[in-house]
A = this chain, B = another copy of it.
């Protein structure tokens, strides 16, 4: 056996392509109910057009895999490097975020062609013999690219929901995602003892850099709500004048409520009874369903009003590790924690542009835990750290209460 033979390896047998093709295909499926016009519009700077999501996730594979590993790499289109760069200063210039909705060119079909081209080239790359070291690295980047695309799949849903919410015709995205909630069980307080706990990812699968290193934290004794806050419960807060009472709010939250004239969750509307706008269009408010689309400020105010508080992310993670008594941890809505998004002790960002993936956002954002109804299957983890600014509401965000034991 010679060295030459040893370094040859068939990276991508059929079965290894399944996740790639599956995730990539799901993005297109999510866009299927939408027109080209729907896919091109941008409803606010925080949101992006669907077409842009489809292109940017492709740019990610092109930039971080093809550009690095493909022989004689040529970009699919030289302008796309700038057009579809989201925030990676290490890659170079970026198209202004707030103007993504002006990119009527390249047309939708050309973005689909871009996807097909990059997919073919990624598959070709994976079909070549590669040295084991490269193999490991590419597999890592491929996994990262797919996780990245899954994150954008969630954003596609929240962004199209926001776009449609701004349209007076109140169009529905689809009829498949919601059903009327059953009456929830009574809220129970699950106790956890004080002590040193372990926080952060442990295992051999994929995780983002911000979930590492696994480390110790001390938590004082606490209790966690067995389920999420419902619309009915939050409506009581609204009707009790929660939005008019500054004593319930953080100072910055109260300024926000007044400046933006906030009076209820983002998609609620009072018109002969409470309604809420959803991916199914405008519907009567389901009082049994979990509250969603609230900001950190609202979550914090509601918790204070109810005599409780938000959990820290360590409390949430420790509880999720150690008990089966908590429902709605995943798949309903992201749960605000009181933890400002920060590096774990010993955190190290990746070298180069990929180091910008998570680390540079570690200021003035709050961590959310769990996952939501539009998070792709298999994407969530107990150690997963989502994060958004304290006034963000267009994600599927809700409340799990905590209190001191």
Contacts and interface: CB of A to CB of B under 8 A. Distances in A.
Quick one: which of A39, A217, A346 has the most chain B CB within 10 A?
A346
A21 interface: no
Interface in A348-385: 355-356, 360-364
A342 B196 CA distance: 20
Contacts of A35: 36, 104, 107
A167 B104 contact: yes
A360 B104 contact: no
Contacts of A163: 102, 104
Contacts of A345: 219-220, 222, 404
A343 interface: yes
B346 A108 contact: no
A95 interface: yes
B40 A41 contact: yes
Contacts of A79: 168-169
A293 to B, nearest CB: 18
B252 A99 contact: no
A362 to B, nearest CB: 7
Interface in A287-302: 296-297, 300
Copies of the protein in its oligomer: 4
B168 A101 contact: no
A326 interface: no
A340 interface: yes
Contacts of A105: 37-38, 164, 167, 169, 171
Interface in A77-113: 79, 82-83, 87, 89-90, 95, 99, 101-108
Contact of A196 (B36, B108, B218, B253): B218
B346 A338 contact: no
Contacts of A83: 168-169
A166 interface: yes
Contacts of A356: 247, 251
B101 A41 contact: yes
A400 B219 CA distance: 27
Contacts of A254: 89, 360
A404 B37 contact: no
A37 B220 contact: no
A246 interface: yes
A215 interface: yes
A363 B300 contact: yes
Contacts of A363: 250-253, 296-297, 300, 390
B102 A346 contact: no
Instruction: State the 4 A-B residue pairs at the shortest beta-carbon distance, nearest first.
Output: A340-B340, A89-B246, A218-B218, A37-B104
28 contacts: A36-B37, A37-B40, A37-B104, A37-B105, A37-B107, A40-B40, A41-B101, A41-B102, A41-B104, A90-B247, A99-B166, A101-B101, A102-B163, A105-B164, A105-B169, A216-B218, A216-B220, A219-B345, A247-B356, A250-B362, A251-B356, A251-B361, A251-B363, A253-B363, A297-B363, A338-B342, A339-B342, A345-B404
Given A103-B167, A196-B196, A254-B360, 14 more contacts: A36-B36, A36-B37, A38-B104, A40-B104, A99-B166, A102-B166, A102-B167, A216-B218, A216-B220, A220-B345, A247-B355, A251-B360, A252-B363, A340-B342
